[in-house]
């Protein structure tokens, strides 16, 4: 039975898209699989480089006349934590030296000394001693030093990523870290408040610029500046503005009597505020980075919300005006219901991106003063402490936390809005 034209077209489309889909899956899935693999291995940063044996040649005894002995030692050392399968040493022996004693791992043929040994094991040192008898030809050649040519060393070792045993120790260490739960709460606070602030600012900006007025397009372009500007540039501008000694913000606060002393916005964990006879302690540095997050990424929400508002039917607003609805009632009962779908999508996207954010906090505070998030800790584990396995384990925990929040969103999001 011949296939229908529709079935053949679908089959052709599948084969045409298969290479692209395969490449995308490899690009996306391979890093995830590699991260999970490393998370269950005791891998250090130095393990990414294959272990190599270090060989030092030393002459213990030098002959002064024919018939005397020349003694050479080769010290083979494995300085890494990873085993070496085998080591081969090749060295040139000057003419006129005859082998008296050779280790069982070594052979001498045509002036070429070759030593093959298993290992050495991690942190192990092996010494090979070779004894030669100096003949008259050796002195006739001017007593050349055996160390004139450095020995050639070949090392064969297994890849530590494949050879190391599986272990759950990294995950256990992550949850046993006393900083884990405070760091998780800081990450959630930074993500939720930063995401909410960026969406609220984007909604406010869209409300301002959806109305027609002269110069509207110019203002729309200016509102995109925080998002399109290089993060390293705007971060250093904020660091300069918030500097307690030379920053503009502190200078203005002290000039107008708002603050009696400089405020270290990015270097102090908490700040006490007294008002109406009560004192409140706020997380100062965390608040500063949340404000930066909301300011930098509100243009993203602004674009989406503005596009949705421009697509709303004008008849809805005309009907609201006819019914006597004011600006707030129009926004609450007409505009906001139309924006719920895009607001939910924006919150999901910004939540995921903010939860994974690294560069903003790293450039502003480096994770100090109570602003250390999970991504900053992953960097600290993997590179500052050179423990890739521990960093990958924390990244796996981050993956499952995001998967949990995603499942909640898809479970409770209104139907048709996902």
Name the residue among 281, 312, 397, 298 with its Cα closest to residue 346: 298
Domains 54-158 and 180-371 share a fold: no
Fold of 180-371: MetI-like fold (1.10.3720)
* Average pLDDT of the residues of the chain: 87
Overall average pLDDT of the 283-287 stretch: 92
So what's the pLDDT on residue 260?
81
CA distance 131 to 71: 5
pLDDT per position as a tens digit, 339-392: 888 898 899 889 999 999 999 999 999 988 889 999 999 999 998 888 999 999
pLDDT per position as a tens digit, 167-184: 899 999 999 999 999 999
Name the residue among 98, 106, 83 with its Cα closest to residue 165: 83
Q: Which residues pair with 273 in a beta bridge?
A: 280
SS3 115: strand
Residue 291 has pLDDT above 80, yes or no: yes
pTM over 0.85: no
Q: Where are the domains of the chain?
A: 54-158, 180-371
Give 305's pLDDT tier (boundaries 50, 70, 90). very high
CA distance 202 to 61: 81
Q: What is the CATH number of domain 54-158?
A: 2.60.40.290
So what's the pLDDT on residue 418?
44
Phi, psi of 216 (to 5 degrees): -65, -40
CA distance 253 to 260: 8
Residue 2 has pLDDT above 60, yes or no: no
Residue 276 has pLDDT above 70, yes or no: no
């Amino acid at each position: 039975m011949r296939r229908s034209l529709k079935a053949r077209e679908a089959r052709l489309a599948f084969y045409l898209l298969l290479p692209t889909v395969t490449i995308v899956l490899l690009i996306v899935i391979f890093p995830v699989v590699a991260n999970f693999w490393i998370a269950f291995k005791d891998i250090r940063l130095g393990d990414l480089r294959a272990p190599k044996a270090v060989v030092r040649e030393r002459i213990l005894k030098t002959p002064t006349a024919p018939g005397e002995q020349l003694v050479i030692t080769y010290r083979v050392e494995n300085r890494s934590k990873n085993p070496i399968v085998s080591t081969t040493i090749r060295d040139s022996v000057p003419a006129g030296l005859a082998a008296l004693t050779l280790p069982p791992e070594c052979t001498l043929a045509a002036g070429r000394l070759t030593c093959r040994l298993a290992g050495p094991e991690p942190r192990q040192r092996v010494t090979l001693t070779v004894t030669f008898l100096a003949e008259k030809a050796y002195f006739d050649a001017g007593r050349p030093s055996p160390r004139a040519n450095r020995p050639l060393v070949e090392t064969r070792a297994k890849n530590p990523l494949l050879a190391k045993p599986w272990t759950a120790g990294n995950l256990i260490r992550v949850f046993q870290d006393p900083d884990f739960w405070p760091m998780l709460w800081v990450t959630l606070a930074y993500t939720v408040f930063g995401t909410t602030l960026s969406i609220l600012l984007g909604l406010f900006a869209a409300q301002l610029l959806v109305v027609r007025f002269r110069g509207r397009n110019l203002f729309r372009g200016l509102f995109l500046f925080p998002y399109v500007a290089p993060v390293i540039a705007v971060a250093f501008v904020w660091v300069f503005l918030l500097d307690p000694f030379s920053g503009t913000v502190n200078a203005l606060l002290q000039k107008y009597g708002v603050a009696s002393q400089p405020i270290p916005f990015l270097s102090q964990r908490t700040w006490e505020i007294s008002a109406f006879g009560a004192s409140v302690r706020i997380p100062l540095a965390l608040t500063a980075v949340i404000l930066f997050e909301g300011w930098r990424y509100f243009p993203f929400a602004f674009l989406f919300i503005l596009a949705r508002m421009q697509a709303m039917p004008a008849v809805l607003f005309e009907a609201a005006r006819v019914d006597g609805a004011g600006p707030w009632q129009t926004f609450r009962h007409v505009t906001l219901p139309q924006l719920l779908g895009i607001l939910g999508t924006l919150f999901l996207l910004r939540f995921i991106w903010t939860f994974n954010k690294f560069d903003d906090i790293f450039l502003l505070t480096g994770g100090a003063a109570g602003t250390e998030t999970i991504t900053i800790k992953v960097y600290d584990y993997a590179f500052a402490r050179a423990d890739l396995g521990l960093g990958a384990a924390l990244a796996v925990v981050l993956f499952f936390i995001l998967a949990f929040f995603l499942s909640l969103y898809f479970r409770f999001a209104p139907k048709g809005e996902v």
